[in-house]
Amino acid sequence: MLHNLFIGELAARLDKREISSVELTRHFLSRIERLNPPLNAFISLTADAALADAAAADARLKAGERGPLLGIPLIHKDIFCTAGVRTSCGSRMLDNFVAPYDATVVVRLKAAGTVMLGKSNMDEFAMGSSNETSYYGPVKNPWDISKVPGGSSGGSAAATAARLAPLATGTDTGGSIRQPAALTGVTGLKPTYGRVSRYGMIAFASSLDQAGVFARSAGDAAAALAVMAGFDPRDSTSVDVPVPDYMSTLSQPLKGLKIGLLREFFEGLEAQNAALIENALSIYTGLGAETREVSLPHLPLSVPTYYVVAPAECSSNLSRFDGVRFGHRCENPKDLMDLYKRSRGEGFGPEVKRRIMTGTYVLSAGYFDAYYLKAQKARRLITNDFRAAFDQVDLVIGPTTPTPAFDIGAKMNDPVLMYLNDIYTIGANLAGLPGISVPCGFVDGLPMGLQLIGPHFAEAKLLNAAHQYQQATDWHTHAPRGYA
């Protein structure tokens, strides 16, 4: 069936005109109509615009143009601004917001000929690890709809896993691509900080936020990254580093590749989960890689460090939502202070308010040095640990999450317990490193992810290692029951 094909296979059929982009788009739209209702993976569907974009892609194909993503349907996380289509960021605050421009990620993917099917559900302002903080209701995991899909990019992950699109964008501030990719059994790539433009991507924590992608294989993620990556003068932290040809290095042999096992990631890991990682390591050894243990002694500090730095930046970034220029405004404000407080109190959900207040507290007079400055110092210690590890090895490896997908509602009343979900993913954000999660097996019938983290700008090496693993295994081809 079309929805089980990888992007390269779809592009080959489009090239040969065996199918049209309109037919492909209709196929996915009809799957969304039939299969999405229990999943709630979308905030907005854009079927009419999708069919028009698909017809335009068909015209380009007919004119002889070719491209790896020309005519390929995709979903954008509802954090990316899309001109003329609501961008809610999962919040009541932006329930009526229609951006006047496209995010750079959207511009680039549109120019490459992709067809947007809709905008995916997400944790409110990307703050969450379970997709339960969305104003539009939780997203369900297609492997078991009583479980969360992970977050914050839960809609993109669930839709990719359910074969509702071959590709979906996401953002990763503390694990928001890799963690839901792991919990839904898809491939999720978080590039180096600054590799992909943040312009038009609604800001959560600006020193951590990075755009990336969900796909069903590392090869498909490589095709998407090739289009998304690159310098953007509109993003002041965009990096002017050439974008390598990610596709051309996918099949390089791994002989001699040095992989570091993160000792701290295995401490306390449950036996079934650890066994999956051990199996993955033996695959890599079989492919000629060398493994050795490495240590990141400051890694246990990464969650507390993150939960100072990210809320601090969020409290500052979200001050723009003032009920004056855009977004929700309360009824009958009695004065300007009342307008600010009630518009924000009503427009933001509980987790967003909690993070704004945490950030306000750690930045407030008398606490700045003890919390914010201290966390920035701890951030350097964690980054230095990674740097020392990459003096010894090319990549580091470990699980993406401590457990498979958990029950909806299980952690909503305990924010600290929820935050600890991100224990394995946050380090890469603090250090600005690229990371990828690939499916590596099942625990209790639910998918688990293997995480690879590399030095800055090592996306080609990560994709190469993930692709070679997927050539030697078939975990990434498993579909949830009812969605095959």
Site for another protein in 347-376 (CB under 8 A): 348, 350, 353-354, 356-358, 360-362, 364, 370-371, 373-376
**Structure tokens of 29?**
């739209």
- CA gap 144, 407 in Å, rounded: 9
Q: Amino acid identity of 336?
A: L
Residues 436-465 interacting with another protein (rule: CB under 8 A)? 456
| CA angle, 200 then 201 then 205, to 5° | 130
Per-residue binding string, another protein, 420-439, x by CB under 8 A, is ---------xxxxx------
Query: Residue 77 is inside which H or E element, if any?
Result: strand 73-77
Full DSSP string of 158-178: HHHHTTS-SEEEEE-SSSTTH
Answer for which of 97, 266, 442, 483 binds another protein (CB under 8 A) is 97
Answer for which of 68, 154, 219, 327 binds another protein (CB under 8 A) is 327
3 state SS of 21 = helix
Question: Can residue 244 be called a binding residue for another protein (CB under 8 A)?
Answer: no
Question: Can residue 342 be called a binding residue for another protein (CB under 8 A)?
Answer: yes
Shortest Å distance, C-beta 312 to another protein = 11
Shortest Å distance, C-beta 358 to another protein = 6
- Window contacting another protein (CB under 8 A); options: 21-29, 37-45, 60-68, 296-304: 296-304
Question: Can residue 378 be called a binding residue for another protein (CB under 8 A)?
Answer: yes
Shortest Å distance, C-beta 347 to another protein = 10
Exposed e or buried b per residue across 139-152, where buried means at least 16 C-beta atoms within 10 angstroms of its C-beta? bbbbbbbebbbbbb
DSSP state of 88: -
- Window contacting another protein (CB under 8 A); options: 30-38, 144-152, 300-308, 467-475: 300-308
Residues 40-59 interacting with another protein (rule: CB under 8 A)? none
- For residues 17 and 320, which CB has a smaller minimum distance to another protein in the complex? 320
Number of other residues whose CB lies within 10 A of the CB of residue 476: 22
Residues 174-233 interacting with another protein (rule: CB under 8 A)? 193-194, 207-208, 233
Shortest Å distance, C-beta 8 to another protein = 32
Shortest Å distance, C-beta 315 to another protein = 6
- For residues 187 and 317, which CB has a smaller minimum distance to another protein in the complex? 317
- Window contacting another protein (CB under 8 A); options: 44-52, 53-61, 255-263, 299-307: 299-307
**Structure tokens of 399?**
């699980």
3 state SS of 102 = coil
Question: Can residue 412 be called a binding residue for another protein (CB under 8 A)?
Answer: no
Question: Can residue 407 be called a binding residue for another protein (CB under 8 A)?
Answer: no
Question: Can residue 474 be called a binding residue for another protein (CB under 8 A)?
Answer: no
Question: Can residue 269 be called a binding residue for another protein (CB under 8 A)?
Answer: no
157 touches 183 (CB < 8 A): yes
Shortest Å distance, C-beta 199 to another protein = 13
> Any idea which residues carry the catalytic annotation?
77, 152, 176
Class of residue 350 by CB neighbours under 10 A (exposed 0-12, middle 13-18, buried 19+) = exposed
- For residues 56 and 83, which CB has a smaller minimum distance to another protein in the complex? 83
Full DSSP string of 322-369: -SSSSS---SS-SSHHHHHHHHHHHHS-HHHHHHHHHHHHHHSTTTII
Using alpha carbons, list the distances in angstroms from residue 211 to 106, 221, 431.
11, 12, 15
- For residues 12 and 373, which CB has a smaller minimum distance to another protein in the complex? 373
Question: Can residue 324 be called a binding residue for another protein (CB under 8 A)?
Answer: yes
- For residues 124 and 220, which CB has a smaller minimum distance to another protein in the complex? 124
Residue with the two structure tokens 């069903």: 216
Question: Can residue 242 be called a binding residue for another protein (CB under 8 A)?
Answer: no
Question: Can residue 239 be called a binding residue for another protein (CB under 8 A)?
Answer: yes
- Give the side-chain half-sphere CA count within 13 A for 351: 27
Number of other residues whose CB lies within 10 A of the CB of residue 38: 11
Shortest Å distance, C-beta 241 to another protein = 10
- Binding residue count for another protein, defined by CB under 8 A: 75
Class of residue 45 by CB neighbours under 10 A (exposed 0-12, middle 13-18, buried 19+) = middle
Question: Can residue 379 be called a binding residue for another protein (CB under 8 A)?
Answer: yes
